[in-house]
């Protein structure tokens, strides 16, 4: 898988998930249940990530994995990122896209 395909996948799934969440919860729910919603986002993102790798039948290329790790390094300790498997890296990228989309709509977790 190339970086462009992974990035497009993460952005698309992030946008889809944000739309579903905005339809499911109101702004007060995001404030009251932020941890639960964040956990829900990660669980769904992990499922999407697993589907991506199941369908692709191949891991990330080393260069792509490095680029994804660089993308996530702002949100995590570098040691944590280095230990993550490909599916976890993609799941966290999807989650970051969901959070970014929600923040663009003034919803903060």
52-84 confidence digits (pLDDT tens): 999 999 999 999 999 999 989 888 888 899 999
Number of domains forming the structure of the chain: 1
Residue 94 lies in a domain: yes
Residue 109 falls inside a structural domain: no
What is the radius of gyration, based on Cα positions, of the chain?
A: 14
Structural domain includes residue 90: yes
96 domain residue, yes or no: yes
Residue 67 structural domain: 3-104
Q: Look at residue 31 in the predicted model and tell me its pLDDT.
A: 86
Within a domain: residue 75?
A: yes
Tell me whether residue 47 is in a domain: yes
Single out the residue of 108, 93, 1 nearest to residue 48, CA to CA.
93
Give the pLDDT of residue 104: 95
Q: Are 44 and 17 in contact (CB under 8 A)?
A: yes
Q: Specify the 3-state DSSP secondary structure of 63.
A: helix
- The predicted structure's pLDDT at residue 76: 83
């Amino acid at each position: 898988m190339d970086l462009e395909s992974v990035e497009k996948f993460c952005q698309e799934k992030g946008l889809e998930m944000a739309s579903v969440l905005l339809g499911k919860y109101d702004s007060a729910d995001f404030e009251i249940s932020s941890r639960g919603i964040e956990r829900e986002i990660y669980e769904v993102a992990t499922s999407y990530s697993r589907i991506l790798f199941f369908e692709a039948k191949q891991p990330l290329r080393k260069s792509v994995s490095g680029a994804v790790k660089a993308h996530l390094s702002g949100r995590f300790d570098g040691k944590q990122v280095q230990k993550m498997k490909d599916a976890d890296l993609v799941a966290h990228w999807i989650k970051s896209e969901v959070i970014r989309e929600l923040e663009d709509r003034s919803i903060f977790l």
